[in-house]
Amino acid sequence: MKLEHTDIIVAPFITEKSTDLKDQQQTLCFKVHPQANKIMVKEAVETLFKTQVGSVRLLNFQGKEKRYGRFSGRRPGWKKAYVKLKQGAKMIEYFEVV
């Protein structure tokens, strides 16, 4: 399956932890497509934000089971990526996507 760069990066994942990582360690956090791999995420970030990526870490999250009265359902699973930029690379802002 061929994914476009804009399909791979779903959204920036903004929390207190991700903000601290961005400021202190030049590491960005994104919610990514569940079928994306490290190479696809690296190419997408380099293309969309025009910066250099050093490493990528991926985490899979299983969807939680939720109950709605007597019915039970399941939330969808998702994937998160930590992207560490190379030393001296330009830090990006999340609203620079063209």
Chain segment 53-85, per-residue pLDDT in tens:
999 999 999 999 999 999 999 999 999 999 999
Distance CA 8, CA 45 (A): 9
Does residue 14 belong to any structural domain of this protein? yes
Whole-prediction pTM value? 0.86
CATH assignment of the domain containing 40: 3.30.70.330
The residues pairing with 27 across neighbouring beta strands, listed in sequence order, are: 84
Cα angle: 34, vertex 36, 37; to 5 degrees: 125
Q: How confident is the model at residue 94 (pLDDT cuts 50, 70, 90)?
A: low
- Domain that residue 43 falls in: 5-64+73-87
Chain segment 18-59, per-residue pLDDT in tens:
989 999 999 999 999 999 999 999 999 999 999 999 999 999
Check: CB of residue 89 under 8 Å from CB of residue 52: yes
Check: CB of residue 46 under 8 Å from CB of residue 83: no
Which has more confidence, 77 or 94? 77
Number of domains in the chain: 1
